[in-house]
Structure formats: C-alpha cells, structure tokens
Amino acid sequence: MNDGSSTESLAGTLRTELDRYSPGQRLPSNRALVDRFRVSPVTVSRALAALAAEGLVITRPGAGTYRADRPARTAATPGDTSWQQVALAVEGPEGPDAAPRAVDASGVLATLAAPPTGVIPFNGGYLHPSLQPHDAMAAALARAGRRPGAWDRPPVDGLAELRAWFAREIGGPAGAVGAADVLITAGGQSALTTALHALAAPGSPVLVESPTYPGTLAVARAAGLRPVPVPVDADGVRTDLLAEAFAATGARVFCCQPLFQNPTGAVLSAQRRRQVLDVARAAGAFVIEDDFARRLSHTDGPPLPPPLAAADQDGTVVHIASLTKVTSPSLRVGALVARGPALQRLRAIQVVDSFFVSRPLQEATLELVGSPAWSRHLRTVAAGLQLRRDAMATALHARLPQAAPRYLPHGGCHLWLRLPDGTDEPALAAAALRSGVAIAPGRPYFAAEPPAAYLRVSFAETAGAQEVAEGVRRLAESAPWALD
C-alpha cells in the first residue's frame, strides 16, 4: 500500500471511531496508533493532520491529540455554477489574436496521475523514490534553514551563487554563459510557460517537434499560440523541414529538446545542431532549448554534446534547465538563460506571475549541488536508469516484438514504441490499466494527426528490473497482437 492510500485509510478509520470520545477527550498517542495499525509514524501524523484540517481533532504539541469541542461544519449546499459555462466560453474580439480559451491538460495529467495501488507506473516521468536523493535533500534542507538570511526575500533573478552554478553547468569550461544571463525559475514547466508567453504573441504560430512533450503543446495552446509540427527522426528535428516551416508560417519561435527528446529519446546530431541555429537566425527566430534530461544520461552513453546555448552568443537560444527530474517532483528549481531584451522580458513576466522562487528552496538547492552526495547521486541515477531501460527493452523484444523500440536511447527515462497498424491506443491503455499497468498513449504527443499509433513507456518510476519485466508481461496480456 502506498503512503497516500495508507494515510486515507487510517484517517477514515479514526474518523469513524471519534464517537467513542467525548469533546476534549485525548485520543491514543501516536505511538499507540503506530503499534495498533502497523503503519509508520509519518502515516499517523498525516492522518491526524487531515482530521485536524477538517476540524474534528485538535493537536497540542507535547500534549497529544484531542477530539474537537465542536463538530466540524458540514459542507455548504453546492451552488449553481452553470452560468460559468457561458462566461468561460465567450471569445474575445475577432482578429489575428483570437484563440480558443479552453485549456487541455490531459496529455500532462496522463503522466502526472498516480496509478491506483498495485498498478505498475509506465506512464510517469519522475524517479522512483529509491532513486531520489532523500537523505541528501533532507540534509541540504536542514543546512539551508540555518543559513543567515535563509528566510529573507531573495533577489528577483535568484540567488547569485545559484545563478553562477547554473551558468557554469550550461556554459561549460569556456564560460559561454555568465551568471547575468541566468534567471532562476520554479522548475522547467514554469520556465517553459514564461518563455512562450515572452517570445510569442497570442495567435501566432510556434514550431514544435513532432512528436513532442505534451506540456509544450498545452502551454502553447493555453497562451493562445498555434503549434505547428516539424517531424523528428533518429537524429533529431528534420532541419530541412524546419526551414520550410519557418518560411511557410512566419513563426518566430521553435521549441525543441535536443538531448534525449521526449518522447523519442533522439539526440540532435552535430550537423543538425549547427543547422538549427543557422535556420533560426536566418528566420530572425528564437530557439527555446528545453534541456530537461541532461542529468538523466545512462552509464553506457557517449559524452554529452554541450547545450545549444553554449554555442550561441547572439541571443538566438533561450535555454531551459531543471533539477526536478533528477531529484524529486517537489524540488522545483530550474533556470532560464537568455540575452538582450529577451531576458528583460522573461524577467518581467516571471515577476508579474510569481515574484520570485522561494529562497529556502534555492538555498537548499545550493547545499545539495555543492555536497559530495551530488556526484554520487548522479552516478546512482545513471546506473539505475540504464538497468531499467535494458530490462524493459529485453522484455519488449521477448513479449511484444511487433512494438519493440527501434531506437534505444542512452539517456532519459522512457521508450517510444510504434504500435501495429490499426491499434486502438485508448482501448489498449484501458485494457492495460485493467491488467495492472499504466501507460501513456501516443496521440497527445502530436500537434496534428499522428502518422501511426504509438505508445510511450517510462521506466523511471518503477522499483527495478523485476517490476519492469512484470509490467511488460501485464502489457502483453492487454495487446491482442502480443506473442502467446
């Protein structure tokens, strides 16, 4: 049973037992509840906190937990919100900036949804808890809390030391990126949202890889932009088609993931790296480089190419970096790199949207990346992801050869599967869930009609090779074309 379901179960049990106690009467101690229900102290604390939030109990530090004097207020009768359907659907004035106001987050939610207990998560995008640096993060947070001024307001651009660290990581030994070029953000998704709002006017086209990360499509559409797909192959985006797309649409922004692209895992080749910059410069356009997977390389991979931003001095590239993927979903710290007026606009939009990133979180991040545990953690992640990748590839070739990956990436946390013609992606996903494995259908990864049926299977959130193999076995049970 996972932590969430344990907490909910215990809270439900305690809620039904509250009638045994008079108002003001003390409940059993946390230790007694741990022994009785055979759960962790954390689960007990969270369950009691849930009851306290409902007004059912009162917790007194050092004294215990007591039944509340008054019963919790019952929920108010739901009002009639049907009027909102009209208000939210009303479009603005007609014109080139007019765009649908609905926001479709289904593609993102498919990878964020926590599967039910017992379901193997092939749909996720974050590391399994066994691969997250929990001890190192806890120690970093504790040290950060004792830093002088840790709870003071941070600089709007971010802590100078953290900006300098990102600059060194992105710019390399040559120092192609300076701390003044860096803006600290609340993770990669926030940075992507800020970049698209800053660089593209509502109603304008934005070029995206095809297939691409659903979060890019969701952000673009929510900003009133029109995503235009440019196909990707094993060497990354097709630069010949990129030039044609710029010419045909007049777009001034291209979003890409040159390293371990999501979902294909492709790495942009050296020749195309130069071509992407040349094509964008000729079009007078920005390249948003989403470098989300740089710290997710595998042990057997070749040396990583430097970011596009390291070869750009003219402000063509707006670079996005994040530490969330390689640490924890809750360590939402990232960076934007830009030059010139673009950086000023990015800063202004972030200030308007969120003021700044929490200083304690920035301080904790500095403590984490500056500790000896950081390099050890990166090595652990590289080996752990490679082990899971190899287990998944082996199991797919054995049980689902018709959908086995045609390309085995040396980084990232997922494989991209071309399914047999005629496969019904939603039906397969539903059948797989009934068999106990959650998967991500390929349709949300395309800005337009997909050329075929696809599936993205992630191995990052699995416990290890054994769970990966079991997940593929369950997936094979759901596929009508699988081997017996």
C-alpha 24: how far from chain center: 44
* Residues 418 and 323 grouped into a single domain: no
pTM for this prediction: 0.83
What is residue 141's predicted lDDT score, i.e. its pLDDT? 92
Q: Does residue 441 sit in helix, strand or coil?
A: strand
What's the pLDDT tens digit per position in 351-372?
Answer: 888 888 889 999 999 999 999 9
Q: In what order do the strands lie in the sheet with 454-458?
A: 414-418, 454-458, 440-441
Taking alpha carbons only, the member of 440, 472, 438 closest to residue 455 is 440
Segment among 106-110, 173-177, 404-408 with least mean pLDDT = 106-110
Is the domain of 121 the same as that of 269? no
SS3 59: strand
**For the segment 250-296, what is each residue's pLDDT rounded down to a tens digit?**
999 999 999 999 999 999 999 999 999 999 999 999 999 999 999 99
User: What does the pLDDT read at residue 333?
Assistant: 94
Q: In whole angstroms, what is the distance from residue 377 CA to residue 411 CA?
A: 15
Q: Residue 15: which domain range?
A: 3-67
Same domain, 127 and 140: no
- Structural domain ending residue among the three candidates 370, 391, 425: 370
Contact between residue 269 and residue 236 where contact means Cβ atoms under 8 Å apart: yes
CATH code, domain carrying 438: 3.90.1150.10
Burial class (CB in 10 A: 0-12, 13-18, 19+), 470: middle
Amino acid type, 452: A
Looking at the structure, do residues 180 and 124 belong to the same domain, yes or no?
A: no
**What was the pLDDT predicted at 7?**
85
Q: Which of 321, 271, 268 is nearest to 294 (CA)?
A: 321
Q: What is the mean pLDDT of the chain?
A: 89
Q: What is the pLDDT of residue 1?
A: 41
Per-residue pLDDT reduced to its tens digit, 398-434: 999 999 888 899 999 999 999 999 899 999 999 999 9
DSSP structure class, residue 302: P
Q: Say whether both 139 and 117 belong to one domain.
A: no
Residue 223 lies in a domain: yes
pLDDT tens sequence across 318-330: 999 999 999 999 9
240 shares its domain with 357: yes
Query: Which of 316, 345, 370 lies at the terminal end of a domain, its last residue?
Result: 370
Q: How far apart are the first and last CA of the chain?
A: 31
Residue 39 sits in a domain whose CATH number is 1.10.10.10
Q: How many domains does the chain have?
A: 3
Give the residue, 256 or 45, on which the prediction is more confident.
Answer: 256
Do 471 and 435 touch, CB atoms closer than 8 A? no
